[in-house]
Structure 1
Amino acid sequence: MVDTLQMTRSLGSYADVLADAGIVREDVRDEARGIEIAYATDDSRRVVPRTLFVCKGAAFKREYLLQALAAGAVAYVSEVDYEVDDEVGHKVPRVLVNDIRTALGLLADAAYDHPSGRVKVCAFTGTKGKTTSAYYLRSILSEHARETGRPVPALLTGVEYDDGVEHGDSLLTTPESFELERRFANAASVGCEHVVMEASSQAIKFRRTLGVDFAVGAFTNFGEDHISPIEHPTLEDYLESKLLLFERCRVAVVNLDMDVAERALAVAHASRTVERVLTYSLEDAAADVFVPSYVRTERGIRATVCTPRFARELMIPSPAVFNLSNALGAIACAEALEVSADAIETGLSRAYAPGRMELYPSESGRIMGVVDYAHNGMSLETLLRDLRASYPDREFAVVFGATGGKGVDRRETMGEAAGKLADRIVITEDDPGPEDPALICDAIARAVSAQGNESWQVVLDRSEAIRTAVNETHGPAVVIVTGKGNDPFMLRHGVREPYEPDGDQLRRALADWEREHV
């Protein structure tokens, strides 16, 4: 069935979009420009009659194009001329380009008639905090939607997507271009005013977001991560990729507490699209959104927050100060969108980020269980230091691993963080992908030992590792399980195998411990 959200347009008009971007190497022949295109896609499984098919990726095979043509594709866009004939022996019309990634972003945006012009897209980029910030802002904007009688905002995160029409678990932090633009179009079709999303450095670097106009773009923080041959070859490449977000923003939001704040501000102010720059900080009183004081409570952090429009006490439902920073980023975005102070206060007090700083206290209170998504050295160190401030007199046990096939540096940086700050460490698997989890764990163990910490063990089975960390607790303790959040899968050799989320397993292990010890 043809996607009714896409425009029917001529092949020539699509070719002109690519020509205007200066990426056409060989244009479509004149007699084919009038061919009517009802649908455009880069997925051969979604092809319908009168489809424009985009041949993408280094792993693309000629057979995918042949499958698309058999299903009804009438033309294709590619970096390679496959010289394919139709059923009467004529060459299938094609547009040859010198940059297929740019072509994907532009074609997807054109196919759905630039949906980011019909909804206000709010994006977070940063090494950590993107997901939590997105959920915080969505909760605020949901309260705004209630006030204005609109549908709740659409949400696109690495955890889940909800575009007002479809909802499910996410495969990527930021979808590929055609899926991304379809999500925006779905949101616009049901009347959503806002879309809240995470913009990963990979998505920005490889131009999945090329056609998107961002109402607000926020840079939450920056640290070393995703440095590998298949992600970012250098830290500078990683930073430059994130800063590209400001090339298409109307309002740029910058965290002044990060080391690269001055660089981010310079890029934001130099952007031709940015009309306003808003800043936030836990430390700099000159920031547009600032916290002069806060206190930890049993319900979370109660903070006095000052913005360009108001000053009032707000409740952030988390004990972690780094989530106060995430909340400030969400508040700054809400300021940019002119959301009422009441909606900010109410929405933030109800905010919840699944798998992010979820607390699981045992019934007796002797153990505080924590599930988080911290999956690199920077985020793990921040998490452990923050929890130490909240629970200074407790033993700290941490369960974690590192992903395989990417982010190789995490094995060392996470091992260092745990080695410095944890009392007991259980090293286990975490989406080993194509690698042997035992080898990943060995690398982490070496980094832990290098800190002079020998209170570690390797338990490859993650479920058993969680039980081990709980069962070996003897006094008041904090047991932290991190890396996967509430993921219901374990990625092994390219397959997402079912996995019971960490929170469910930790809750059960704590209940068993209570029955035996209390």
Structure 2
Amino acid sequence: VVVQNANVVPDQIFAHAGCVKIVVEDSRKALAEFSNIFYSEPSKRLKLIGITGTKGKSTTAFYVKNIFEQAGFKCGLIGTIANYIGDREVKTMLTTPQSHEINSLFNEMLKEGCTHCVMEVSSHALRLNRVDYMSFTSAIFTNLTSDHMDYHKTQEHYFESKKILFDMIPSSGTVIWNSDDESGKKIVADSKAKKISYGAKKNSDVRIEKVDYDLDGTKFDLKWNENLYKAETSLVGHFNAQNAASAFAVAVANGIKPETAIEGIKTTPQVPGRFEVVAMKKKRVIVDYSHTSDSLQQALKALQHIVNNERKIYTVFGCGGDRDRTKRPIMGGIASSMSECVYVTSDNPRTEDPF
């Protein structure tokens, strides 16, 4: 039994149970190390791709998984919506599970023939040692806006937490970063890995051009190595062109042909709860995670572009209880200024009184 505080449980209880007590300085770090050893360092036997950022992690993970499967690989996924061992879904409670749960999932993936795994990596997971001792071959940075201030307190602490992932990538690996985000270049600055940028800027390695979208999907061009690729996806919005571009970048970095990556982008199905379009007779309902002010603004901006003042936008949203209170009035202001009518729900109040 591993304990961080030697005085928490009396020695006689361990002796009576026939257990050995090991006292460590940091129980979270020890759990990551011990579970990694227990499962024989499973991440080293997978091509492990980590994705971090405020928005777009889940969608990008689904893109990456589908592209690798399009290329003939069996790929696992660990993320907010669900965990997948190949095609088998495993329910999840956290974006990034605890370290022993992750290593157990890696072990199951290997047993079922997975060669690759794509994992969403949250700032909490990086700070709380959940991915310590794991061997990532690639990492993707999506973007950085304000979030989780109830935990991080400052934007700088949030940034430094995200940066941990890119400092973990070895020189033989690749880091993919968003050149349209002001934190992109800085977050990969100290990485010894190969760097590939993506975005709309002219100097991006994977350049996004001519984005056009409606409620049926998005079409755009990708430029890579002086070649032009016509891309399309059933996912809606400029932000999903960005997510697709990052998935394209990590695919070609891992030896997948660009044409295969483009086909994988095209065949990626709608991601549950990520600007998910639900048809209801002549009406359309958009279900989107939008848990930050910036993501809500981007979702409503995309809708305004689509309806072009010809239809009214009705917004239903809420903010979880016992979490970052600072974003609530900001999100309320955005919703009211960009919608015909706003319905505010109590969401998940946790211990707060919703009334």
Q: Shorter-chain TM-score: what band?
A: over 0.9
After superposing the two structures, state which structure 1 stretch, 349-358 or 125-134, moved more: 349-358
Does residue 414 of structure 1 match 2:331?
Answer: yes
Residue 340 of structure 1, aligned match among 253, 257, 260 = 257
Q: Is 409-418 or 192-201 further displaced after alignment?
A: 409-418
CA 1:123/1:88 → structure 2, altered by over 3 Å: closer, same or farther? closer
- Structure-2 residue corresponding to 1:114: 41
Matches within 5 A, 1:465-476: none
Shift of 1:90: 10
Aligned to 1:207: 129
Q: Deviations over 1:388-442 (max 9, x none)?
A: 111112211100011011122231221121122112101112121111223xxxx
Which whole-Å CA distance do the structure 2 matches of 1:206 and 1:112 have between them?
A: 20
Distance 2:297 2:199 in 1: 20
Say yes or no: does 1:94 pair with 2:24. Answer: no
Identify if the C-alpha distance between structure 1 residues 286 and 83 changes in structure 2 by more than 3 Å, giving closer, same or farther: same
| Equivalent of residue 176 in structure 2, options 249, 253, 278 | 253
From 155, 160, 185, give the equivalent of 1:262: 185
Structure 1 contact 79–99 (Cα < 8 Å) conserved = no
Change (3 A) 1:309 1:83: farther
Deviation of 1:332 (Å)? 1.2
Q: Give the one of 128, 145, 148 matched to 1:226.
A: 148
**Mapped contact 2:196–2:249 kept (Cα < 8 A):** yes
1:80 paired residue number: 6
Give 1:165 deviation, angstroms: 8.9
Match in the other structure for 1:242: 162
Q: Compute the displacement of 1:309 (Å).
A: 7.6
- Check whether the contact 2:51–2:121 (CA below 8 A) recurs between aligned residues: yes
Shift of 1:78: 3.1
* 2:248–2:258 CA contact under 8 A, matched in 1: no
- 2 CA distance for matches of 1:295 and 1:306? 16
Paired with 1:181 and 1:314, the residues of 2 have a C-alpha distance of 35
**1:211–1:166 Cα change, 3 Å:** farther
Q: Which amino acid aligns with 1:256?
A: S
Identity, in percent, stands at 28
Contact 1:301 1:317 (C-alpha < 8 Å) held by counterparts: yes
Following superposition, the deviation at residue 294 of structure 1 comes to 2.8
Task: Give the Cα–Cα distance (whole angstroms) in 1 for the partners of residues 5 and 63 of structure 2.
Answer: 41
Instruction: Give yes or no for contact 1:295–1:302 (8 Å, CA) kept in 2.
Output: yes
Moved over 6 A (4+): 86-91
Asked whether 1:390 is paired with 2:299, we answer no
**Amino acid in structure 1 at the alignment position of 2:109:** A
Aligned to 2:281: 363
Q: Is 1:314 aligned with 2:231?
A: yes
Q: State the secondary structure of the residue aligned to 1:79.
A: coil
Q: Which has the larger radius of gyration?
A: 1
* Contact 1:84–1:91, Cα closer than 8 Å, also in 2: no
In structure 2, the CA distance between the partners of 1:310 and 1:94, relative to structure 1 (3 Å rule), is farther
Code of the aligned partner of 1:234:
T
2: CA distance, partners of 1:165 / 1:105: 26
Matched, 1:137 2:64: yes
Q: Secondary structure at the match of 2:166?
A: helix
Change (3 A) 1:92 1:156: closer
Match for 1:177 among 91, 94, 99? 99
Shift of 1:380: 0.1
CA offsets 1:5-64 (integer angstroms, 9 cap, x no match): xxxxxxxxxxxxxxxxxxxxxxxxxxxxxxxxxxxxxxxxxxxxxxxx3xxxxxxxxxxx
Query: What is the root-mean-square deviation of aligned Cα atoms in Å?
Result: 2.0
Aligned to 2:248: 331
Give the structure, 1 or 2, with the largest relative contact order (CA under 8 Å, sep 6 or more): 2
How big is the shift at 1:299?
3.4
Q: How far did 1:280 drift? A: 0.5
CA shift, 1:335, in A, is 1.7
| 1:464 alignment counterpart | none
For residues 90 and 418 of structure 1, what CA distance do their matches in structure 2 show?
57
CA distance in 2, matches of 1:208, 1:110: 14
Instruction: Give TM-score, length-normalised by structure 1.
Output: 0.64
**1:325-372 CA distances to partner (integer Å, 9 max, x unpaired)?**
1111111111211112232122111112111111123323xx321111
The alignment partner of 1:182 has SS state of: helix
The Cα of 1:141 is off from its aligned counterpart by 1.1
Residue in 1 that maps onto 2:111: 189
Asked whether the equivalents of residues 53 and 142 of structure 2 are also in contact (C-alpha less than 8 Å), the reply is yes
Structure 1 residue 379 corresponds to structure 2 residue 299:
no
Of 310-319 and 395-404, more deviation after overlay is shown by 310-319
Structure 1 CA distance, aligned partners of 2:154 and 2:93? 25
Aligned partners of 1:133, 1:165: CA distance in 2, in Å? Answer: 17
Encode CA deviations 1:464-496: one digit per residue, 9 max, x unaligned. Answer: xxxxxxxxxxxxxxxxxxxxxxxxxxxxxxxxx
SS at match of 1:214: coil
Cα drift, residue 322 of structure 1: 1.1
For the residue of structure 2 that corresponds to 1:113, the secondary structure is coil
Q: Please tell me the residue identity of whatever aligns with 1:80.
A: A
Judge conservation of contact 1:217–1:246 (CA < 8 Å) in 2. yes
Q: What are the superposed Cα offsets for residues 373-399 of structure 1, whole Å, 9 maximum, x if unpaired?
A: 111111001111121111112211100
